[in-house]
């Protein structure tokens, strides 16, 4: 059997009367024996395990359920196991009883082709009574207050209320921060108002002194002209001298000087910074007379 190059090529048929060498043999998937082309079928080689993979179901006459027969097992044993464990005679009427249309006076048997379920009451009817007025449809069912879904909704609402209360306590800190920022902005606004009021008083005092209403310095301070060196007893006379002698006469050889007057003591300063230091040092930081 075979050739020198392929010694395992070809096998004998398992049928005792055949024993033919077949170079393309067939292996039976039930008995796992090798057969030739002629004896490859179950009937030709009379296979003893031809029904090994078959599925056989028998309907029980007591419960109308299907009982599957196990291969290589006595059917009587399979039947006895079903009767002792799974058989329920009360199921026979449910399976064998034919379903009819529930409409009053209708005796039509409901099958797959003539059955329609109502959308409102979810009950199956025949084609003749498929509409609500034909089978006196009560309409969609209303949800009861004792339904578990409603209880679940109530629980969710309670949990939401608890989370809101906790969020209120957490937002108190943010409210405190907002109030602090508002207070800071109010302080800033009051400070700006005070500064504007101080500048208004300084301008008013300067206007009064320029109109001749200023008085002489009570401390005996002598004011000196920065251009010609002349001395004056008050700032008003010094300003009049500068305007008459140096500005109107056209004598602009020296630089033009701006003099700032203290609103409390009428003392003049050429440097505004010196005026601020004088107010803080001699008058306690206020410009009120």
Q: How far apart are CA 30 and CA 123, in angstroms?
A: 50
In the predicted structure, residue 34 carries a pLDDT above the cut 70: yes
Strands (E), the chain: 11-12, 21-22, 26-27, 34-35, 56-59, 66-69, 116-117, 124-125, 223-224, 231-232, 260-261, 268-269
Which residue did the predictor score with more confidence, 229 or 76? 76
Q: How far apart are CA 144 and CA 215, in angstroms?
A: 96
Give residues with Cβ within 8 angstroms of 38, minimum separation 6.
13, 18, 20, 44
Q: What percent of the chain has pLDDT over 90?
A: 11
Q: What is the pLDDT at residue 282?
A: 82
Contacts 24+ apart (CB under 8 A), 15-19: 15/39, 15/45
Q: How far apart are CA 263 and CA 251, in angstroms?
A: 30
**Mean per-residue pLDDT for 155-176?**
64
Which residue did the predictor score with more confidence, 147 or 79? 79
**Helix-, strand-, coil-residue percentages of the chain, each rounded to 5:** 35, 10, 55
**Mean per-residue pLDDT for 166-171?**
58
User: DSSP readout, 90-144?
Assistant: THHHHHHSPPB--STT--PBP-GGG-EE-TTT--EE-STT-STTTTT---SPPPP
- Domain ranges (residues) in the chain: 7-50, 57-96, 99-141
In tens, the pLDDT along 3-27 reads 677 777 888 999 988 999 888 899 9
In tens, the pLDDT along 99-157 reads 889 998 898 989 888 999 998 888 999 999 999 889 888 887 665 555 555 666 677 77
User: What's phi and psi for 187, nearest 5 deg?
Assistant: -65, -40
Q: How far apart are CA 131 and CA 123, in angstroms?
A: 11
Q: How far apart are CA 95 and CA 111, in angstroms?
A: 14
Specify the CATH class of 7-50 in words: few secondary structures
Q: What is the pTM of this model?
A: 0.28
């Amino acid at each position: 059997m075979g050739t020198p190059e392929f010694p395992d090529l070809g096998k004998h048929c398992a049928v005792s009367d055949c024993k033919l060498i077949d170079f393309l043999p067939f292996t039976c998937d039930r008995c796992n024996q090798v057969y030739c082309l002629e004896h490859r079928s179950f009937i030709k080689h009379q296979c003893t395990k031809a029904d090994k993979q078959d599925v056989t179901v028998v309907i029980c006459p007591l419960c109308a359920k299907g009982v599957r027969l196990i291969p290589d097992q006595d059917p009587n044993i399979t039947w006895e196991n079903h009767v002792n464990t799974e058989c329920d005679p009360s199921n026979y009427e449910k399976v064998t009883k034919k379903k009819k249309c529930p409409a009053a006076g209708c005796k039509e048997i409901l099958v797959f082709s003539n059955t329609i379920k109502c959308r409102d009451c979810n009950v199956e009817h025949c084609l003749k009574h498929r509409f609500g007025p034909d089978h006196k449809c009560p309409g969609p069912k209303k949800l009861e207050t004792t339904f578990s879904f409603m209880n679940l909704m109530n629980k969710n609402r309670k949990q939401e209320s608890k989370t809101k209360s906790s969020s209120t306590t957490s937002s108190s800190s943010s409210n405190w921060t907002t109030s602090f920022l508002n207070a800071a902005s109010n302080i800033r606004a009051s400070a700006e108002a005070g500064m504007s009021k101080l500048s208004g008083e300084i301008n008013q005092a300067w206007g009064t002194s320029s109109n001749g209403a200023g008085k002489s310095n009570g401390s005996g301070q002598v004011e000196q002209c920065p251009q010609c060196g002349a001395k004056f007893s008050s700032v008003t006379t010094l300003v009049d001298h500068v305007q008459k002698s140096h500005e109107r006469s056209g004598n602009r050889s020296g630089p033009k000087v701006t003099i700032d007057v203290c609103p409390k003591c009428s003392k003049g300063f050429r440097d505004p910074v010196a005026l601020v230091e004088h107010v803080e040092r001699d008058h306690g930081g206020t410009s009120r007379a």
